[in-house]
Amino acid sequence: MADNKIIDGKLVAETMKKEIAAEVAAMLDKGLSAPHLAAVLVGDDGASITYVNSKEKACRSVGMTSSVYRLPEKSTEEDVLKIVDFLNNDDEIDGYIVQLPLPSHINENKIIQSIKPTKDVDGFTLHNIGLMQIGEPCYLPATPFGILELLKRSNVKTEGKHVVVMGRSNIVGTPVSVMLSRKGADATVTICHSKTQNLKEITRQADILIVAIGQPEFVKADMVKDGAVVVDVGIHRIKDNSEKGYHIVGDVDYKDVYEKVSKITPVPGGVGPMTIVSLLHNTLLAAKKNRK
């Protein structure tokens, strides 16, 4: 029997992929080219390679074209800027991402801000951040968009709810707080971070608790209100003696909070699959604009 407490990100992401695939097929039927997403991968960070591989696989699964520009670890800022310039001007590429983190000798912000905003499907340029802030159409960052879409499609209403967001990073905590407090989502939002005092007292007031702090199984039952909805963004590989050698946990101690919550996203299978499908969503938007 289906567990009604679980917010099934994998299932919702599959549904969204089918919708996107149908739109891509309709474009092809009209004689238009498939949306094309590119990724720039600098160096050989294992997690980054895994993320880029799964983005490529997801593109193919919905009929989109994908390409990866791989640069060695020792590449200079100039080398990366040259690729960015090429991608900005190549009409065949609808959108692209620069996989983070970049090697430490490269100024990440300089690279990101060099991406043409109309191709910035990660929504990281100042232009898109500004548009998000004032509620204008833009490319919304993938994980926050994925969280809002997941809540909407799982019938979790945000209007008038007190949402507590743990974490204020530029890619998750801050944008999800902005998006939830805007008209349409209409939540009342509190943001917590590492300097927040009386953290437990605040998180216990949350109707919806969104956790993006990068601390394995940090959130325990005593931090959660009875009947709260919990969204766990964290992803951590924990070494163990299993065949795989590890298992995945989130920022929330799932077993500890399970009895208390009304709904919860599992890790894996919650927010993670939504992040990738949101990137496909943005790439489709870019392609539609380019083919008008």
Residue 152 has phi, psi (to 5 degrees) of -60, -50
Query: Does 166 help bind ligand NDP (rule: CB under 6 A)?
Result: yes
C-alpha closest to that of 216 among 241, 240, 184, 185: 240
Q: Which stretch binds ligand NDP (CB under 6 A): 25-33, 127-135, 157-165, 231-239?
A: 231-239
153 token code pair: 């499609």
122 noted as active-site residue = yes
Least Å distance, CB 167 to ligand NDP, is: 3
Site residues (CB under 6 A) for ligand NDP, limited to 5-64: none
* Residue 253 annotated as catalytic: no
Residue 59 near residue 81, CB atoms below 8 Å? no
Among residues 8, 17, 55, 251, which one is catalytic? 55
* Residue 263 to residue 261: CA distance in whole angstroms: 5
Nearest-approach distance from CB 110 to ligand NDP, in angstroms? 19
Question: What is the contact mask toward ligand NDP in residues 177 to 216, using x (rule: CB under 6 A)?
Answer: ---------------xxxxx--x------------xxxx-
Strands 36-42 and 95-98: parallel
Q: Does residue 55 have an active-site annotation?
A: yes
Amino acid at 135: G
User: Which residue is at the shortest CB distance from ligand NDP?
Assistant: 169
Angle at 13 between CA 192 and CA 126, to 5 degrees: 50
Report the interface residues with ligand NDP, using CB under 6 A.
Answer: 143, 166-169, 171-173, 192-196, 199, 212-215, 218, 233-235, 251, 271-272, 275
